Amino acid sequence: MSSYFTDLAQQFIDGEWRPGTGSWDIIDFNPYDDEKLASITIATVDEVDEAYQAAARAQKKWAETNPYARRAVFEKALRLVEEREQEIAEVIIAELGGTRLKAGFELHLAKEFLRESIHLALRPEGRILPSPVDGKENRLYRVPVGVVGVISPFNFPFLLSLKSVAPALALGNAVVLKPHQNTPIVGGSLVAKIFEDAGLPGGLLNVVITDIAEIGDAFIEHPIPKVISFTGSDKVGRHVATVCAANFKRSVLELGGNSALVVLDDADIDYAVDAAVFSRYVHQGQVCMAANRVLVDRSVAEEFTEKFVAKVKTLKVGDPRDPETIIGPVINSSQADALSGVVEQAIAEGATALVHGTTTDNLVEPSVLTDLPADSALLRQEVFGPIAFLIPFDGEEEAVRIVNDTPYGLSGAVHTGDIERGVNFAKQIDTGMFHVNDGTVHDEPLVPFGGEKHSGIGRLNGDNTADSFTTLKWISVQHGRSGFPF
């Protein structure tokens, strides 16, 4: 595993591994034990430019490559991930503090999205559309946008980098990837290494490891990329969207959430407890789809709360390398401090701590809070950590109002003994995704993934990915002579 952190602690530009030329280094730490994993000299604005220029040079030939030949690269990439799965899992555990359970979950989804990219290479289809003009043939071509800039987050860096990088490449584009500073290997250079070894021609995928303190908005302002795919917070997403709009670029924004899991009065309580605990505490709650809020009908609240609290108390906190660990470290000390502050603020506002977790270094034990005042700002923001808010309600109408009372609209779930009741409930929630009798954390290769309100703009997966990373071109052919008015 250590070779990943030594061999890949570089920039990858125009098919070459090389150090950055910035004046300072990004230090990559293990969030559990603070071990220094790598030191990476950052990329400058000039290197961002070189990466985009290389991508533009390589893209045209790639777009003209037979899609069956392009497909072979993704078949090889999938085989490589399968062969190196255990090694990659160890890197995920070390760099972002993911548990073994989480690493397996991320790799499973990453393989599914690579499989979809194999098919996506062959998916773009043209159309011939009728015309009111005699003798005119309207051809509609779906073509690559050219170069795509991808900015990936720290929580599922391997998956969420691949989720944009692989489809964009499969559809005939070139890519420049900027991973999060906390996960430069898993989210950046490891992805480049997989595709390099899979035979992707040089220049088509470039990775720049850098920081906005060094490059400012150069990554998104650069004239070459036509689409910027960003996954991260709504605050940064708003800025990305603004800069893209000012530069006539398309942005695909997968942003934060404040999802709710709702337990109606006819729910299977034991099953709802299992779904709620997973939905809130998977990967320490550092998931955009996580169930920040757990709403329970007052008629079953006592039973649910008792069982929920009991299960949360069983979650093992500690070393993510231990297969028994469910709650590993959060990504860094700033995040840990902020989460401690959330718990203290909630209690100061009058909340009751049914479980009051302590914080040791980056290990944040789970907390369960109830009785938070209905007007608390904490109920409307994204809490990126293992803190659950339990909220009782009286009847479906009140539940719908509470669920929608947030700027976000990403995911959610409802538990009920009547499926159609659940579907009718889901239709009233302002989200991009909602699940009946399941958890809130789901992603599938063919199903549109994305949110409403502050949770993002656009959709990924399946045909939606093809729409995001291609554009339509109308070419008309006039058979015979056309008539003109003068």
- State which H helix or E strand residue 79 sits in: helix 67-83
Q: Identify whether 302 is a catalytic site residue.
A: no
Evaluated on CA atoms 370, 373, 374, 376, the torsion sign reads negative
**What is the gyration radius of the CA atoms in the chain, in angstroms?**
24
Helix (H, G, I), strand (E, B) or coil at 38: strand
Strand order in the sheet with 259-263: 352-355, 367-370, 387-393, 291-297, 259-263, 412-415, 435-436
261, 412 Cβ separation under 8 angstroms: yes
Q: How far apart are CA 314 and CA 305, in angstroms?
A: 14
Beta bridge partners of 85: none
Beta bridge partners of 136: 478
Residue with tokens 């329970």: 296
**Helices 100-120, 157-170: inter-axial angle, 10-degree rounding:** 10
Chain length of the chain? 486
141, 220 Cβ separation under 8 angstroms: no
Residue of 95, 106, 116, 254 marked active site: 254
Burial of 25 (0-12, 13-18, 19+ CB in 10 A): middle
Q: How far apart are CA 259 and CA 166, in angstroms?
A: 28
What would the two tokens of residue 99 be?
């548990």
Closest to 466 (Cα-Cα) out of 181, 195, 124, 131: 124
Residue of 288, 365, 382, 396 marked active site: 288
Q: How far apart are CA 157 and CA 209, in angstroms?
A: 13
Q: How far apart are CA 127 and CA 39, in angstroms?
A: 50
Q: How far apart are CA 394 and CA 403, in angstroms?
A: 13
Strands 174-178 and 147-151 come out as: parallel
Please identify every residue annotated as catalytic: 254, 288
